[in-house]
Structure 1
Amino acid sequence: MGAKAHFSRFLGAHPQRLHFCAHSHHPWPDVSFEAQQQAWLDAADLIDAKWDKVFGEIVPTAQHHLARLLNLPDPGTICFGANTHEFVLRLLSSIEAQPFRVLTTDSEFVSFDRQLRRLEEAGRAEATRVPVEPFSSFVARFTEAAQAGGHHLIYLSHVFFNSGYWIDDLRPIVDAVPSPRSLVVIDGYHAFMAVPIDLGRIAARAFYLGGGYKYAMSGEGAAWMHCPPGQVARPVNTGWLAELAQLSQRHGTALTYPDSGSRFWGATFDPTALYRFNAVMDWARRHQLSVPAIRAHALELQREFLVLLDRLRHPVLSRAALVPPEPLPRGNFLAFRHPQAAHAHAQLQAADVVSDRRGDRLRIGFGIYQDRTDVAELARRIGALH
């Protein structure tokens, strides 16, 4: 793919380090360095007037990038925040029922799972968790549960963080929800910029969360949410940016909310991450690094790695330990389930290989900053662990 040279600052910081954690902190392309500097220079030059540029240029550019990548009919349905957790809290604040009923899975990321468990402890929520495994029947089982109705919130991942299992078609689940008053929320953080996403047919019904920290290669602070028009018009957890357009004309005490994604904006934020995000998206487009191209490159490296592992016969990192098992669809990382996952992770760390672990699952991620020589070196270091 030839993209590796564009990550010289990150890769050059520790030349001997092998970073195979692309599903977590992805290295940033060099163009993000200049973008971060530009955010500082704009603040120095414009001071308060920088917000005119942020909301008049930086935010709309980011919205158009996302609308293009997600096949959204209206860029205005996108809002931004520091992290997806703040969006979840605003969505939850719009549910008036106490306790409210949630349909979710047993494999959601800690950010949502911890918050939901605390709400259950407090008696404010009642949750039904559909097991993701067995993977082959998950969509049918979750669709049936959604079809039964009675839920105020349906929340699930597009690509699951602890396995990489990918729901390639979300429509059956979204269409199965019988009540238009039920919130349907998709966590797309491990899907965005890793697998092709087309929200066109569910954009009017489902919220979709993502951000720049992982595969978008833009770092922290560039979280975003697609908000279906007309759904959840008045979140209780609301910030002053939700009425930014009417701020100078505000009269009285009546709270107004726009119909666009702006109704989920929070308060004052650091726009630097959006500068980085736009620079990276512009760079990717210039170099024809489309999501399908990125996906194809990651899959090629996965296949190469698995062939090398077959020869090594490592006890933990083996094809037999994969979850989900082949040939089920997965995202751009491989998850290996084994009781000795923690030991293997520590060994890789000692060998200057960056991977990560979630319980008994060791995760190895692949991205466009890697090539076949990196995969071969990874296999060599794994072989030396015996």
Structure 2
Amino acid sequence: MVAADPIVTASYKHLFQRAIAAAPERLHFAAHSHHLWPDASYLGQLAAWEDGVRLADRKWERVMGAIWPAAQAHVAAELGLPDPATIVFAPNTHELLLRIASALPQRPLRILASDGEFHSFRRQSVRWEEAGSATVERVPLDRIVTAARAGAHDLIFVSQVQFGTGQVFEGVAELAELARPEGPWVVIDGYHGFMALPTDLSAVADRVFYLAGGYKYAMAGEGCAFLHAPPGFGPRPQITGWYAEFDDLSLPPGSVGYAPDARRFLGATFDPSGIYRFVAVRDMLRQEGLSTADIAAHAAALRDGLLAALPIEADLLNPGSPARFVALRSPHAARWKAALEAEDVIVDVRGDVLRIGFGLYQDMRDLNRLIGALRGL
């Protein structure tokens, strides 16, 4: 296939000069996985280090008093959440998942999930089944709302965007109608949705949990996962750290108190540098006037350009999807990935699916090089 007309997009490489200079010949089309970091993230990392040495023990006053609420405000603005206090941060989403599950009193837990969830949840849920801690019903994405309405579940877990196929889940509002503080709870894994496509949770913020983080499209790297926890859901997680009772340190010895907001899901001492990087990147995007919709449009133009000139034969699993990557199924996927990597063209493979992701640091020159490399296959 050959494109009839060239697609022209802007270039934002000036925002990523350090990452590009670190590997100038690399062609990175795994933006759906490890996004290249913008220069602003370097400044955020430096700020975390400088606050640590300048303030020492007193750095936590700045972290929790300024950086943390700034990060909460950015997440709330991105997702249309009415109250930034419903946001809590952790080193990774797995920690937050464990705390959510620990806050549900039923055992074994009755879990409903799609059959395309990421390895972290898949592995943990299988292990819960092995241990007798949970029973798990797994259904195709298009059947999860019907299965949820059938009842008999304590926890409903589904990705906003399926990591393997790029399919987008459109039934969040329908699941939210079922959610109750006593159960079921609805948890949306938003890692492939947050800052990848515009997301408005304002209508369901009082009923659903939402998990995501900075590693992928937020361009902030590791250590900045977050949870939106609706008020009244899970006031006392069993898996808990001392940070979760900051508001209750005056309780009598032996008492286990909890913060009244999302901090009830906190653990213990953490590395705050990821939150610094996230705030720095978000501030940079605001200064540049770049919204998630703008970045998604830039990525969509690159995606459309690739699909219009795709020189390999493969099944496209997510046609018309707003996901920020294309999923191409072929028995040659692993071989293609290895051949591209040998030329310093970075994509990835899940089974027999080749995934090619699009981000702000790519432009049409990169796309043309990618198409040339694919043609060489």
Scaled to the shorter chain, the TM-score interval is over 0.9
Provide closer, same or farther for how the CA distance between residues 179 and 223 of structure 1 changes in structure 2, counting only shifts above 3 A. closer
1:84-103: CA deviations, max 9, x gaps?
A: 00001111112222211100
1:323-334 pair list within 5 angstroms? 323-324=317-318, 326-327=319-320, 329-334=321-326
**Residue ranges of structure 1 left out of the alignment (5+ in a row):** 133-137
Is the 1:143–1:176 contact (alpha carbons within 8 Å) kept by the matching residues of 2? no
Query: 1:147·1:178 contact (CA, 8 Å) conserved in 2?
Result: no
Q: After TM superposition, give the deviation of residue 5 of structure 1 in Å.
A: 1.2
The equivalent of 1:378 in structure 2 is 370
- Once residues 125 and 351 of structure 1 are traced to their aligned partners in structure 2, the CA distance between those partners, rounded to angstroms, is 45
- Structure 1-normalised TM-score? 0.93
Could you tell me whether the CA contact under 8 Å between 1:6 and 1:30 is conserved in 2? Answer: yes
- Return the offset for 1:180: 4.8
| Alpha-carbon distance, 1:351 to partner | 1.6
Q: Which amino acid aligns with 1:323?
A: L
Shift of 1:178: 7.2
- Aligned pairs for 1:345-360 (under 5 A) are 345-360=337-352
Confirm or deny that 1:256 pairs with 2:254: no
- CA deviation digits over 1:95-124, x for unaligned, max 9? 222211100011000011100000101111
- 1:232 partner SS: coil
Q: Is the 8 A contact 1:18 1:354 kept in 2?
A: yes
**SS of residue in 1 equivalent to 2:11:** coil
Contact persistence 2:103–2:234 (CA under 8 A): yes
| Correspondence 1:1-386 to 2 at 5 A | 1-132=10-141, 138=142, 141-168=143-170, 170-177=172-179, 180-247=182-249, 249-309=250-310, 312=311, 314-316=312-314, 321-324=315-318, 326-327=319-320, 329-385=321-377
Correspondence for 2:6 = none
Residues 202-248 of structure 1, C-alpha deviation per residue, up to 9 Å, x if partnerless? 1000000000000000000000000000111111000100011232x
Shift of 1:131: 1.5
Moved more, 22-31 or 161-170: 161-170
Distance of 1:176 and 1:273 partners within structure 2: 34
Aligned partner letter, 1:98: R
Output one character per residue of 1:299-346: Cα deviation in whole Å (capped at 9) or x when no partner: 11100011111xx2x134xxxx1112x23x341000001111111111
* C-alpha distance after superposition, 1:340-360 (max 9, x if no partner): 111111111112110111111
Shift of 1:179: 7.7
TM-score, normalization: structure 2? 0.95
Identity of aligned residues (%): 47
Distance 2:180 2:60 in 1: 42
Cα distance per residue 1:143-179 (max 9 Å; x no partner): 1111111101000000110011112452122224578
Which runs of no fewer than 5 residues in structure 2 stay unpaired?
1-9
Cα deviation, residue 181, structure 1? 1.9
Q: Partner of 1:135 in structure 2?
A: none
Q: Number of matched residues? A: 368
Cα contact 1:159–1:330 (8 A) shared by 2:
no
Q: In structure 2, do the counterparts of structure 1 residues 99 and 288 end up closer, same or farther at CA, with 3 Å as the change threshold?
A: same
